Amino acid sequence: MVDMKTALITGSTGLIGNESVRFLHDKGYKVIGVDNNLRKYFFGDNGDTSPVKKELLADYPQYEHADIDIRNFQELEKVFIDYGKSIEVIIHAAAQPSHDWAAKEVFTDFEVNANGTLNLLELYRKYSANAVFIYMSTNKVYGDFTNKFNYVEEEYRWNLERKSQYANLGFDESISVDNSLHSLFGVSKLSADLLVQEYGRYYSLQTTCLRGGCLSGPSHKGAELHGFLSYLVKCTVTKKPYKVFGYKGKQVRDNLHSADLVEAFWEIIQKPGISQVFNVGGTMNSNISILEAINYLAEVGYKLEFEIENENRKGDHIWWISDMSKFKKQYPNWKVKRDSFKIIDETISALKIMN
């Protein structure tokens, strides 16, 4: 049994996971990271997070790494047996994160996203029931329902019609998760999302689902099938051609910096609730279309070679901006501090150092 307060973070070498490790370690937690670098399996060398693991182990003395696949209940249980009630926080950020990749290996996608989450929830309930459990869900749980609204085509972006109830703040949690095309990834994540909610309600556990839009930051290992802003910047800086899938390159995404997201985690940790659900994203303060991002990169000296395909990705959003009014009402001290342009600037700087 360990007396020091402990945080368990899955996907600890990924974008959100490693940001969480650093943040909570600095807050005085012993941090157990669970990550077996499946991202390399998903995305090849572009997704390899082993350098991040090496850095965390070197720089954070109260960090321990568990090279465990979250599908392996028996190995996960050993961690919970070792740390038990000392675990005060569980941040579940491990996932198969690409809706395109999911269609290639449907069983792998579902087993990682849904079954892996069930493993964690059951071990949480059994060994660490007083902990705060935060699950990184996705806006893909809403499917392409939002594409049914009317959009206006502008020079570099699509926008919702001004008369739409969502035009000023973005989409809130009332959007239906039914009767839409989700992608198989969206379905596996929705399954996990509902499990997290149900464990919270049924067993009175402190669970929160955060339905993220585009999450990014300088440590993001973006790949063609996942992490559009990171991968876009990477292609620009390394002079690699970039392919835009549909919507004339005018599709809009809100982008939330990983550091801002982790500060939202901290708000929840200090004031948890039972079975909470929130949208999280850049809101109206941080959103951009692909063409706008390309234009900005050109302005700061990086011209991208790109082509636009006519066909969009299945179930892809035309326009997504997260309305975080519900979250801000509960956690009024939190705000978006870094916009899409700041994220691009930081990503450029990180890539220049690496290269």
The domains of the chain, with CATH numbers, are 6-354 (3.40.50.720)
Tens of pLDDT, residues 110-158 = 999 999 999 999 999 999 999 999 999 999 999 999 999 999 999 999 9
Residue 219 pLDDT: 85
Distance between CA atoms of residues 277 and 139, nearest Å: 12
106, 146 in Cβ contact below 8 A? Answer: no
Distance CA 304, CA 243 (A): 10
Phi, psi of 187 (to 5 degrees): -70, -45
Give average pLDDT by consecutive 10-residue segment, the chain, 355 residues: 84 97 98 96 91 97 98 98 96 94 96 98 98 98 96 98 96 96 96 98 98 92 80 93 95 97 98 98 97 97 95 92 98 97 95 72
SS (H, E, C) 19-42: HHHHHHHHCCCEEEEECCCHHHHH
Rounded CA-CA distance 130/147 in Å is: 40
Predicted TM-score of the model (pTM): 0.96
Q: What distances in angstroms separate CA 227 from CA 15, 25, 30, 133, 195, one per listed residue?
A: 10, 26, 29, 24, 25
> How many residues would you count in the chain?
355
Distance CA 350, CA 355 (A): 9
Quick: pLDDT tens for 301-349.
Answer: 999 999 999 999 888 999 999 999 999 999 999 999 999 999 999 999 9
Beta bridge partners of 209: 135, 277
